[in-house]
Amino acid sequence: MSEKPTPRHVADAWLLRAEGHLKTARHISLDPNLPSADAAFHAQQAAELSLKAFLLRHGHTVVRTHDLVALVRECQDIDPYFREFTAQATSLSAYAVEARYPPLGLTVSREDAAEAIATADKIYSAVRARFGPTDVSSGSASP
C-alpha cells in the first residue's frame, strides 16, 4: 500500500507539470509551421499550474478554474509580490479556452505567443523561487 502524498509532494508535481507546459510552449513557438495559439495555450497552462502549485504548497484547496486573475489574487493574499502579475493574468487567461478552438476566432500572433510565454516564465520563476528545492524537479524550465 502506498502512502498518501504530502501537500508538498502534490504541489511539487503540479509545478513539474507547469514546467512541462512552459517547455512545450517554447518548443511550439520555435516552429513557424505550428499554430501560435497552441504556444499561447501552453503558456497559459504553465502559469495556471504554477499559481495552483503555489496555493497547494500553502495549504489552499485549488478550485477548477482557468481564471488567472482570481488565482493571482489568491496568491497575493499569501505573498504580495504576486500583485505584479494582475494585469498580465487578464490577457493570459484568454488563451485557456478561446485559443484552443478555431471557431471562437481568437487570433494569436507570434508576438502575442512570445509575450504569453514570457509572462508564464515570470510566474513560473516566481513560484519556483518561493518553493526552494523540490522533490520532483527535473531542473530549470529553460530549454
Q: Residue 101 is part of a domain; what is its CATH number?
A: 1.20.120.330
58: exposed, middle or buried (C-beta count within 10 Å: 0-12, 13-18, 19+)?
A: middle
- Structurally, how many domains does the chain consist of? 1
**Residue 2 within a domain:** no
**Whole-model pTM?**
0.88
Residues 6+ apart with CB under 8 A from 123: 46, 47, 50, 51, 85
137 is a domain residue: no
- Considering the domain boundaries, does residue 141 fall inside one? no
Whether 136 is in a domain gets the answer: no
Residue 119, Cβ density class (10 Å: 0-12 exposed, 13-18 middle, ≥19 buried):
buried
Which position has the grid cell 504580495?
80
Torsion of CA 64, 40, 68, 4, to 10 degrees: 40
Range of the domain at 85: 7-131
pLDDT tens for the 143 residues of the chain, in order: 567 878 788 999 999 999 999 999 999 999 999 999 999 999 999 999 999 999 999 999 888 888 999 999 999 999 999 999 999 999 899 898 877 777 666 789 999 999 999 999 999 999 999 987 665 545 444 44
SS3 label, residue 82: helix
In the prediction, which pLDDT does 140 show?
A: 46
Q: Is 85 a member of any domain? A: yes
